Amino acid sequence: MTVAEQDNCALAHSLDMGGDGLRVVVKDCIDIKGTVSACGSAALMDRPAATRNASVVDALLGKGCKITGKANMHELAFGMTGVNATFGTPVNPRWPDRIPGGSSSGSAVAVAAGLCDFAVGTDTGGSVRQPAICCGVFGIKPTYGRISREGCHPADSTLDCVGVMARTAEMLTNGMEAIDPSFTRHVLTKAPRIARVKSEVEPSLGHKLVYSLMESLPEVGYVALPRMAEAFDAAMTLISWEAARAYGPLAEADAPLGADIRARLQAAAAIPDDARRAAEDTRAAFTQDVDALLEDYDILMTPALPMIPPTLIAAKDPATVLPLTAMLRPFNLSGHPALVLPVAVGPERLPAGLQLIGRKGEDAELCAAAEWMTKTLAIFQEMEA
């Protein structure tokens, strides 16, 4: 591990495996044969090393990629800040006083710092897309179930997806080609039909430039998803319920967990079955809402975040970070592919971005729309420079 890698805490440990192709960093909740998937937790540091690669790792190696490390992460992938007291908090390369985002913090930092060509993370409620925006890079959560989660932790999830982060939209597409054997690059022949989604959180958004970007695109419609807030809450219920079943025994056994993670797991264990069933009902209704809008439009568009990512000091207050995934998490619930594009706003050039949501299975079309948008709007070219 280089001094730079040690200093920014992006990597849990370095590797040198595979071919001479694109350099890739893989999140530490994804199995690589011979390594321990500690998932950012002291409680799992002594678990046995993986005896086989995760499916996505085999896909990367099959494409000739060079895996250069396993990325640090928020403990147990159960948090949004990326702060990790055990393994160190990855340092946001562009805004070092601000959170790197979570849970795929090390993956985002590795990309932003140039330690790899693209990184692989997981996204249960925004855990690829949110740190991507926090660190000023692109990120995609594919259609739920499109990418195999075999060899990922926790083993069972109805929301989690293996995703990709990269510094450019083109490299993001390259990453999708590498992890998904069924992915075929798509080329747009005309501008996509885009609809901006109204949101209850919009009035609190300080960076108005995001909205002017939306409105500057050709033929942008304006639609509503009135169940967004309900979907956000329902997704959190399911994330917590599933986390309690995967990791609850660690809290009960007094394993060495961070205090915040222990408290969240204990609270999650108390979620009643009727709350879970209600969340599933919301999933069905919200999914229908999104599908209906995508019959008339190719792409739905939202701000990526409802706020500028907080500083590390401000993020110590849980209430500060709670809204961070308000625009992201609902689409884990619905299972639609979602991609974020970074922008820097205001005189201080602070992190913000747009989110694009596509039809299920049309991940390649979504990537093509992102590439088209970066060529259409000069501000994205500025971010990629």
Element (H, E) at 223: strand 220-224
Closest CA to 12 of 33, 36, 34: 36
Using CA atoms, how far apart are residues 270 and 385, in angstroms rounded to an integer?
48
Q: What is the DSSP string of 116-127?
A: -SEEEEEESSST
Catalytic residue among 103, 104, 157, 199: 103
Helix or strand run (H / E) with residue 378: helix 378-384
What is the C-alpha to C-alpha distance for residues 316 and 330, in angstroms, rounded to an integer? Answer: 24
Is there a contact between 226 and 200 (Cβ–Cβ < 8 Å)?
no
Give one DSSP letter per residue of 38-105, joined into a string. -TT-GGGTTSPPPSS--HHHHHHHHTT-EEEEEE--SGGG--SS---TTT-PPP-SS-TTB---SSSH
DSSP symbols for 255-319? -S--HHHHHHHHHHTT--HHHHHHHHHHHHHHHHHHHHHTTT-SEEEEES-SSPPPBTTGGGSHH
Catalytic residue among 127, 157, 199, 334: 127
The tokens describing 91, both together, are 């340092």
Would residue 27 show up in a list of annotated catalytic residues for this protein? yes
Q: Which residue has the tokens 């991609």?
A: 339
Catalytic, 208? Answer no
Tally of residues, the chain: 385
Residue 379 amino acid letter? I
d(CA 241, CA 165): 27
Residue 103 annotated as catalytic: yes
- Put residue 301 in one of left, alpha, beta given phi > 0 → left and psi -120 to 50 → alpha: beta
Whether the CB-CB separation of 228 and 200 falls below 8 Å is answered with yes
Active-site positions read 27, 103, 127
